[in-house]
Amino acid sequence: MKNIFTLILTASLFFSCGSQEKMIEKKEETIQEKSDSKPKLIVGIVVDQMRYDYLTRFEAKFGEGGFKRMIREGFNCKNNHFNYIPTKTAAGHASIYTGTTPRYHGIIGNSWFDKTINESVYCVRDNSYESVGTASTDGQMSPHRMTTTTFSDENRLFTQMQGKTIGISIKDRGAVLPAGHSANAAYWFRGKDEGAWISSTFYMNALPKWVNDFNASNISSDYLKEWNTLYPIETYTESGNDLNNFEDGFKSKTTATFPYDLKVLSKDNGGYDILKSTPYGNSLTTDFAIAAIEGEQLGKDNHTDVLTVSFSSTDYVGHNFGVNAKETHDTYLRLDKDLERFFNYLDSYVGEGEYTVFLTADHGAPYVPAFLNSHRIPGGLLDFNTLKADLNELLLSKFNTNDLVLKISNEQVFLNHEAITSNNIELADVENTIINKLLDYEMVNKAFKGGIVNNSAFQDGVELLLKNGYNQKRSGDIVIVMESSVFSDGPWNKKGTDHGSGYVYDTHVPLLFFGAGIKQGETYKKTVITDIAPTISALLGISFPNGTTGNVLGFIID
């Protein structure tokens, strides 16, 4: 009887152990499947200065493999907005990848007046590092002024630095800020007489072989060719007349009209820099992004990699020609072709369904005021240099002290606190005097003390946008809100376009997701730019960037 009991017990234990082993094996398989289900590569695409309505206005002439593929196969957030002011390139790129606003990540503009040293600073300039790939100082850059992490940083931490991050853009700020603090590399384009991709010793001491090979190929020279419209110009019915009074164009060409002989024009337009202001700058960026994927073997192992790509030429073209130009129209049609080429390469190299892409913009843009005025729509130019002089003259007459306004930067007034204190002047008296004067200007809509913006519990409207963009340590003493379609006056803003406001023409931008882990669909529900980083983090199962204030868009995740 005892032997039978022992036999039964042994058999029971044997089958129990076998069952447990199978359960463990099944659990390990499930864990492996979950691990394998993560995208092998995240590609973040920022189209510089892309208004949302470019998706719909130019839709009829887009092909099936670029923007339309993203919409057809992925998720389209049709009511996506920036939720802060100012809507500038650097602030936009930082906000997209950190999941928060300038209030927390600290990038309050492309450049700003630094109150601690009383001079302007550039968002990514860092003289503690050297250029790589050029003898110029154009490579002395780093993300040191961005005070929070990006989702690419969090992915690096999560994967024990095994997942790579590479940032690419014609603009240094468009490459450096999205890639974050821990990136393997960021690359940007040095035009002028070089036409080469460069970097900083923040990332490396020498360019990798694949970058040197790319630069040596002289592909930049191949793009110094004629720029004419992709399709017959008479079919470009979704944009204005080619010859008009609202576009700048290029030096040494009398009219801003097609065609453009870029090789000839390059002599008077910065050499290879002219490519930045043509669709070929985007084509060159696509070429380099493809070379980076192969050179760095992105998406080829079990650790998710991140590639950030900013197409900056759309911004240069927009500033030069404006939102209604044939040149802008053509640039987007050609970008659509580059996106198709890029997605086809990702399909073949990484694998269809193995990568995830999101596409958005760092800001939009308005019609130039002169064009609006020609159609009896309000708009104008406000000269901030004259405004500063007027304010200082008023303050001198009232407080008997010179230069109480040090700088007007990013529509913010910076005061001379040292002079105010040493002359026993009440700060509130100076601020009130300035605000009352500002409101006398026809083109000024509102003006607020910085302390009011920082400390008030605004819930909506332009006031909330100002608060989200206000960084207590870096922003000014007074913030100015101009009327709609009013630009800062200057030779660069009389034609073409500009941006920076909280009006919808600057805040409403595309947001498309497609690829691994993304549902197919669309929504008119309002989303904001700071929702992107936590959504990608949730898709990857990693920590959110450490300053995140956005929300996960759970309805887009499959």
Among 80, 67, 110, 75, residue whose Cα is nearest residue 92: 110
**C-alpha dist (Å) from residue 160 to 33, 155, 293:** 20, 9, 21
Strand, coil or helix: what is 475?
coil
- Shared domain for 227 and 146, answered yes or no, is yes
**Which is the catalytic residue, given 89, 98, 530, 548?**
89
- Shared domain for 325 and 296, answered yes or no, is yes
Instruction: Give the pair of three-digit tokens for residue 59.
Output: 């839709």
- Shared domain for 365 and 385, answered yes or no, is no
- Shared domain for 479 and 337, answered yes or no, is no
Task: Please report, for the domain that includes residue 218, its CATH number.
Answer: 3.40.720.10
**What is the dihedral angle through the alpha carbons of 158, 161, 162, 163, rounded to the nearest 10 degrees?**
70
- Shared domain for 395 and 541, answered yes or no, is no
Provide the domain limits for residue 413. Answer: 380-483
Specify whether 286 is catalytic. Answer: no
Whether 293 is covered by a domain: the verdict is yes
Rounded to 5 degrees, φ, ψ at 165 are -135, 125
Domain C-terminal end among 448, 483, 518 = 483
pLDDT at position 493 is 66
CA triplet 87, 88, 90: central angle to 5 degrees? 130
pLDDT at position 18 is 52
- Shared domain for 179 and 218, answered yes or no, is yes
- Shared domain for 220 and 346, answered yes or no, is yes
Domain C-terminal end among 483, 512, 539 = 483
- Shared domain for 337 and 400, answered yes or no, is no
- The pTM is what? 0.93
Contacts of 196 (CB under 8 A, 6+ apart): 133, 134, 189, 190, 215, 220
Whether 26 is covered by a domain: the verdict is no
Whether 28 is covered by a domain: the verdict is no
Whether 71 is covered by a domain: the verdict is yes
Residue type, 92: G
Give the whole-angstrom CA distance, residue 343 versus residue 513: 13
- Shared domain for 155 and 79, answered yes or no, is yes
pLDDT at position 494 is 80
Domain C-terminal end among 436, 453, 483 = 483
Task: Please report, for the domain that includes residue 443, its CATH number.
Answer: 3.30.1360.150
* 395 CA to centre of own chain: 38
- Shared domain for 213 and 77, answered yes or no, is yes
Among 374, 347, 362, residue whose Cα is nearest residue 495: 374
- Shared domain for 513 and 427, answered yes or no, is no
- Shared domain for 290 and 432, answered yes or no, is no
What is the bridge-based pairing of β-strands 511-515 and 355-360? antiparallel
* pLDDT tens for the 558 residues of the chain, in order: 445 544 444 444 444 545 455 544 544 444 344 445 899 999 999 999 999 999 999 999 999 999 999 999 999 999 999 999 999 999 999 999 999 999 999 999 999 999 999 999 999 999 999 999 999 999 999 999 999 999 999 999 999 999 999 999 999 999 999 999 999 999 999 999 999 999 999 999 999 999 999 999 999 999 999 999 999 999 999 999 999 999 999 999 999 999 999 999 999 999 999 999 999 999 999 999 999 999 999 999 999 999 999 999 999 999 999 999 999 999 999 999 999 999 999 999 999 999 999 999 999 999 999 999 999 999 999 999 999 999 999 999 999 999 999 999 999 999 999 999 999 999 999 999 999 999 999 999 999 999 999 999 999 999 999 999 999 999 999 999 999 999 887 655 689 899 999 999 999 999 999 999 999 999 999 999 999 999 999 999 999 999 999 999 999 999
Whether 5 is covered by a domain: the verdict is no
- Asked if residues 386 and 405 have their Cβ atoms less than 8 Å apart, the reply is no
